């Protein structure tokens, strides 16, 4: 991003600029909407925000008025004045203005810290600063959006309205930023999801619960099908386990004590069931169903398991953050000697699969335990040493760039995380490989060793795609809804120019279906140009006119490239088949 200025003083200057603009926003809002209470207003990446407690919802026309008032305040070139006041003085000022949130913040200022106010004109804010000299220094900004935000991020607190703005010291940088935001909006998976009829979420039927429409369900099925084949090739076995289990299972696994807040708990008669928030206990049940020998290990159980988690409504976001989702989950049970090879092959699988979907840019984190600071971890220090060393060694051996995150490990084991990085630098959680020293001990997950003694198995939890919902959302945004041929829910549209070609067009459609393609025939009585525009996201359009019918050929249009010429249907089929089989992500036209 353009604002990532390496020079620290420049960056500080930009932060002051953005934060000072937030003061001007708050001033303008209070002038236009008397009685509005202020929350906080920090600088953020690309701009700033300010939180307001205000009964009516801010609208687009309010934005116009607020921006206008902000420009007036800026034109007055009011100096930002710093003053240190007593607590009583500050309390008197904010009480007089009914600023209850500021009073709350004031009460949290530590005793040994002075209370600092900043004023410009009649506006006063509790703030440590720093700010630019005067409002006249500001002016390159734009209000961009409004969203709900809980006071102090706590859902038990009132929901405030957060107005976001972009601000830069350079007009061209602001324009470039706004252009990127517009571009990102066009790729927003919620918008494309509706346009391409992929999925919907109905708040009335349940927030965070995804309805996959035919196109989306097809896309999900293609991904799952690919996933299964890749796993079977690598010695995984498929499981299918129940969606609910009695509380006792979750008490035994420990979820009931530390994950209860996120679980849907169902009373049934005198019993209590839990809708599974994770697949682990189910997979462990299968492992524990009989005595295991070292000869059977490693065992790799995989399941596309649908789980449900009570996420707070404020955190839900399209398919990125949902309450019901399918995890491409697997659990590997192995001996300590097998850990390195197993982790290595999971890393290979993750790199391979994510690359096939076009995610070549990945962030990799290795989360380690800060054992100097934390004492509540499970497992022997030597086991931790060895395991952390193994994970590090695996990543180094593959020459992967990764960050070591000391103190980020779970209490039960170290892990490796892969993040998908999109063209805007946004990160989404991808694969996770987690070692677990807790559950094998807690649940006696044993095997009979070569010497006949009982040993605890080593447990590895892992997902490659993570939640399919989140993965598909990232996929939609990464390709802007123009899916590669092998993934496209509909791959080819057959477009006859007039009625006379319908019969031949139907035959072309049938031949393509026979060849295994996902095809639609658009024989509506519409102009050809209209039909082409309607199917602009499809990889191939086959146009059939009088000449094609007479010659038994098809005229081929490739997405983003346009006409690539007329060819015999067989010729087209073998070309397209090769592209799909190779799982080509970008054709030349996509890279334009």
What is the rounded CA–CA span in Å between residue 434 and residue 416? 7
Phi, psi of 125 (to 5 degrees): -135, 145
Strand partners, 167: 141
Asked whether the CA dihedral 497, 499, 504, 508 is positive or negative, the reply is positive
Q: Tell me, rounded to whole angstroms, the distance of Cα 535 from its chain centroid.
A: 27
By CB under 5 A, the residues from 343 to 372 that bind Zn ion are none
Active site residue 507: no
Provide the minimum distance between the beta carbon of 353 and Zn ion in the complex, in angstroms, as a whole number: 18
Provide the minimum distance between the beta carbon of 117 and Zn ion in the complex, in angstroms, as a whole number: 10
Which of 327, 428, 455, 491 does the annotation list as catalytic? 327
Q: Which stretch binds Zn ion (CB under 5 A): 164-172, 277-285, 378-386, 469-477?
A: 277-285
Residues in the chain, total: 592
Name the residue nearer to Zn ion (CB basis): 69 or 461.
Answer: 461
Distances (CA, A) of 140 to 64, 143, 184: 15, 11, 21
Query: Total binding residues for Zn ion by CB under 5 A?
Result: 3
By CB under 5 A, the residues from 129 to 148 that bind Zn ion are none
Write the interaction track for Zn ion spanning residues 22-41; mark x where CB under 5 A is met and - where it is not. --------------------
What is the rounded CA–CA span in Å between residue 293 and residue 369? 31
Active site residue 327: yes
Provide the minimum distance between the beta carbon of 158 and Zn ion in the complex, in angstroms, as a whole number: 22
Which of 102, 177, 300, 461 does the annotation list as catalytic? 461
Name the residue nearer to Zn ion (CB basis): 127 or 351.
Answer: 127
What single-letter DSSP state applies at residue 457? P
Q: Which residues contact 85 (CB under 8 A, 6 or more apart)?
A: 93, 115, 116, 117
**Which residue in the set 132, 280, 445, 460 belongs to the binding site for Zn ion (CB under 5 A)?**
280
* The two structure tokens encoding residue 81: 């004045």
Contact between 466 and 430 under an 8 Å Cβ cutoff? The reply is: yes
- Report if residue 127 touches Zn ion, rule: CB under 5 A: yes
What is the rounded CA–CA span in Å between residue 592 and residue 590? 6
Q: In what order do the strands lie in the sheet with 362-368?
A: 237-238, 299-308, 324-334, 458-467, 427-436, 415-421, 362-368, 403-406
Name the residue nearer to Zn ion (CB basis): 277 or 489.
Answer: 277
Render 111-141 in DSSP notation, one character per residue.
Answer: TTS-EEEEEETTEEEE------SBGGG---E
Name the residue nearer to Zn ion (CB basis): 29 or 127.
Answer: 127
Provide the minimum distance between the beta carbon of 331 and Zn ion in the complex, in angstroms, as a whole number: 6
Q: Which stretch binds Zn ion (CB under 5 A): 217-225, 280-288, 307-315, 526-534?
A: 280-288
Contact between 245 and 281 under an 8 Å Cβ cutoff? The reply is: yes
Strand partners, 51: 162
Provide the minimum distance between the beta carbon of 460 and Zn ion in the complex, in angstroms, as a whole number: 9
Which of 309, 321, 456, 509 does the annotation list as catalytic? 309
C-alpha neighbours within 13 Å on the C-beta side of residue 122: 4
- Report if residue 117 touches Zn ion, rule: CB under 5 A: no
Q: Which stretch binds Zn ion (CB under 5 A): 234-242, 402-410, 460-468, 580-588?
A: 460-468
Active site residue 329: yes
- Report if residue 249 touches Zn ion, rule: CB under 5 A: no
Name the residue nearer to Zn ion (CB basis): 298 or 314.
Answer: 298
* The two structure tokens encoding residue 283: 């997979």
Name the residue nearer to Zn ion (CB basis): 105 or 569.
Answer: 105
Active site residue 334: no
Provide the minimum distance between the beta carbon of 588 and Zn ion in the complex, in angstroms, as a whole number: 42
Which of 415, 490, 535, 558 does the annotation list as catalytic? 415
Q: Which stretch binds Zn ion (CB under 5 A): 2-10, 123-131, 387-395, 497-505?
A: 123-131
Contact between 293 and 447 under an 8 Å Cβ cutoff? The reply is: yes
- Report if residue 309 touches Zn ion, rule: CB under 5 A: no
C-alpha neighbours within 13 Å on the C-beta side of residue 454: 6
Provide the minimum distance between the beta carbon of 23 and Zn ion in the complex, in angstroms, as a whole number: 5
Q: Which class for 130: exposed (0-12), middle (13-18), buried (19 or more C-beta within 10 A)?
A: middle
Write the interaction track for Zn ion spanning residues 184-223; mark x where CB under 5 A is met and - where it is not. ----------------------------------------
- Report if residue 461 touches Zn ion, rule: CB under 5 A: yes
Active site residue 280: yes
Strand partners, 163: 50, 146
Among all residues, which ones are annotated catalytic?
Answer: 280, 309, 327, 329, 331, 415, 461
Contacting positions for Zn ion (CB under 5 A): 127, 280, 461
């Amino acid at each position: 991003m353009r604002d990532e200025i390496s020079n620290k003083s420049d960056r500080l200057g930009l932060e002051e600029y953005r934060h000072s603009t937030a003061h001007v926003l708050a001033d303008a809002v209070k002038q236009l909407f008397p009685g509005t209470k202020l929350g906080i207003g920090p600088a953020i990446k690309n701009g700033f925000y300010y939180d307001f407690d205000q009964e009516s919802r801010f609208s687009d026309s309010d934005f116009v008025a607020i921006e206008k008032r902000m420009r007036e305040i800026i034109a007055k070139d009011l100096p930002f004045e710093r003053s240190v006041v007593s607590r009583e003085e500050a309390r008197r000022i904010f009480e007089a203005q009914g600023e209850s949130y500021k009073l709350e913040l004031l009460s949290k200022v530590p005793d040994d810290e002075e209370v600092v106010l900043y004023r410009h004109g009649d506006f006063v804010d509790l703030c440590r600063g720093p700010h630019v000299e005067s409002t006249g220094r500001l002016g390159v900004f734009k209000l961009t959006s409004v969203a709900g935000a809980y006071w102090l991020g706590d859902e038990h607190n009132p929901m405030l309205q957060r107005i976001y703005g972009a601000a830069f010291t350079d007009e061209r940088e602001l324009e470039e930023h706004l252009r990127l935001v517009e571009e990102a909006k066009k790729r927003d998976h919620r918008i494309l999801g509706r346009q391409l009829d992929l999925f919907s979420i109905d708040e009335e039927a349940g927030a965070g619960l995804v309805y996959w429409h035919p196109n989306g369900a097809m896309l999900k099925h293609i991904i799952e099908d690919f996933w299964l084949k890749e796993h079977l090739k690598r010695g995984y076995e498929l499981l299918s386990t129940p969606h609910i289990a009695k509380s006792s299972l979750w008490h035994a696994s420990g979820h009931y004590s530390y994950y209860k807040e996120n679980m849907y708990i169902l009373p049934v008669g005198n019993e209590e069931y839990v809708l599974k928030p994770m697949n682990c206990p189910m997979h462990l049940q299968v492992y524990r169903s009989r005595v295991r020998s070292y000869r059977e290990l490693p065992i790799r159980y995989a399941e596309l398991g649908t789980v449900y988690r009570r996420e707070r409504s404020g955190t839900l976001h399209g398919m990125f953050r949902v309450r019901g989702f399918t995890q491409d989950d697997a659990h590997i049970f192995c001996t300590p000697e097998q850990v390195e090879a197993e982790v290595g092959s999971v890393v290979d699988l993750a790199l391979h699969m994510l690359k096939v979907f076009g995610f070549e840019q990945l962030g990799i984190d290795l989360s380690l335990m800060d054992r100097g600071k934390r004492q509540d971890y499970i497992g022997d220090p030597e086991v931790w040493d060895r395991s952390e060393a193994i994970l590090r060694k695996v990543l180094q051996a593959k020459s992967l760039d990764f960050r070591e995150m000391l103190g980020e490990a779970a209490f039960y084991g170290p892990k490796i995380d892969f993040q998908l990085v999109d063209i805007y630098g946004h990160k989404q959680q991808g694969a996770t490989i987690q070692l677990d020293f807790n559950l094998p001990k807690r649940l006696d997950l044993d095997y009979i060793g070569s010497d006949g003694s009982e040993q605890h198995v080593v447990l590895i939890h892992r997902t490659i795609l993570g939640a399919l919902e989140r993965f598909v959302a990232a996929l939609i945004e990464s390709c802007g809804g123009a899916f590669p041929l092998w993934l496209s829910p509909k791959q080819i549209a057959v477009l006859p120019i007039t009625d006379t070609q319908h019969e031949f067009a139907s035959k072309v459609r049938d031949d393509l279906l026979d060849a295994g393609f996902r095809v639609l025939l658009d024989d509506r009585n519409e102009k050809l140009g209209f039909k082409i525009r309607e199917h602009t996201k499809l990889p191939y359009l086959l146009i059939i006119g009088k000449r094609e019918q007479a010659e038994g050929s098809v005229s081929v249009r490739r997405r983003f490239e346009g006409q690539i010429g007329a060819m015999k249907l067989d010729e087209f089929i073998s070309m397209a088949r090769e592209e799909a089989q190779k799982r080509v992500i970008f054709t030349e036209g996509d890279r334009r």
